[in-house]
Amino acid sequence: MSIDTAPIIKITGLRTQFGSNVIHDGLDLEVRRGEVLGVVGGSGTGKSVLLNTIIGLNRPAAGTIEVLRTKTNGLSRKESRQLRSRWGVLFQQGALFSSLTVAENIQVPLKEYTDLSREMRNAVTALKISMSGLPMDVCSKYPSELSGGMKKRAGLARALALDPEILFLDEPTAGLDPIGAAAFDELIADLQKSLNLTVVMVTHDLDSLYAITDRIAVLIDKKVTIGSLEELRQNPHPWIQDYFHGPRARAAQETQVEA
């Protein structure tokens, strides 16, 4: 049996800019199938911009993006829909529709991309809610009735609705208390293993980086420096040294040693 070693995401020579403000310039990045890749960087380095560009919300000024062996530029509307159905996205605040219940939010992609019956949509919804660690009574609740952590999990359930191959996470633990953040990290790790997901996670959370990532991409100088945690800890770049050897990094490392 042959093993597919081709990158699941391949970015070459990416340039993104808004007006005269260049965010990324000549950025190259490859994401391996089945890995959890953390994306970090200082303020203004374009972490969320990179994620949004990969999923097609931003148009790059130059360069190519290939996802699941498909170049994202020049696709027909049908081809673009087919590609988008193969990934799921959890935005930072959950991005739930406030006028829809949790169940209705989860069913948005099911209605858009499938012709499942109502009974099947309800069954899929129940499964995804369970997978996300939410109680079934949230189905009829609106986002305004949920805690921050429950909104994240509801957004995650929606991101998983179509059984994606890639899961994009934008600051998944932002705003959560340490216990809630650790529980969410554990959930992501369990889902990645059980569903064989590839996870691309933008985060500031050093605990998450130490707990669940295989490699980390650092956005710096408009490009990417990528490696394992140990490799990056040995990188001499001043920002990388400060980030991975500062007091928060030491605390995160000690937490993982204790665990």
pLDDT digits (tens, 9 = 90+) for 27-75: 999 999 999 999 999 988 999 999 999 999 999 999 999 999 999 988 8
DSSP conformational letter for 41:
E
**Cα–Cα nearest to 151, from 106, 113, 111:** 106
Question: Residues with Cβ < 8 Å from 233, sequence gap 6 or more?
Answer: 244, 245
Residue 161's DSSP bridge partners are: none
pLDDT digits (tens, 9 = 90+) for 100-124: 999 999 999 999 999 999 999 999 9
Q: Residue 8 carries which side chain, given as an amino acid letter?
A: I
The residue among 15, 45, 51 whose CA lies nearest residue 31 is 51
Against a cut of 0.85, is the pTM above it?
yes
Around 217, how many Cα atoms within 13 Å sit in the side-chain half-sphere?
26
Run of H or E including 89: strand 87-90
pLDDT digits (tens, 9 = 90+) for 153-187: 999 999 999 999 999 999 999 888 999 999 999 99
- Quote the CA–CA distance of 206 and 203 in Å, as a whole number: 8
Q: How many CB atoms lie within 10 A of CB 189?
A: 16
Using CA atoms, how far apart are residues 70 and 171, in angstroms rounded to an integer?
26
* DSSP structure class, residue 186: H
Which residue's structure tokens are 């800019």?
17
Q: What is the pLDDT of residues 190-244, one digit of tens each?
A: 999 999 999 999 998 899 999 999 999 999 999 999 999 999 999 999 999 999 8
Where exactly are the structural domains of the chain? 99-163
Q: 245 is written with which tokens?
A: 């050897």
Which pLDDT value is given to residue 175? Answer: 87
Are 36 and 192 in contact, with CB atoms under 8 Å apart? yes
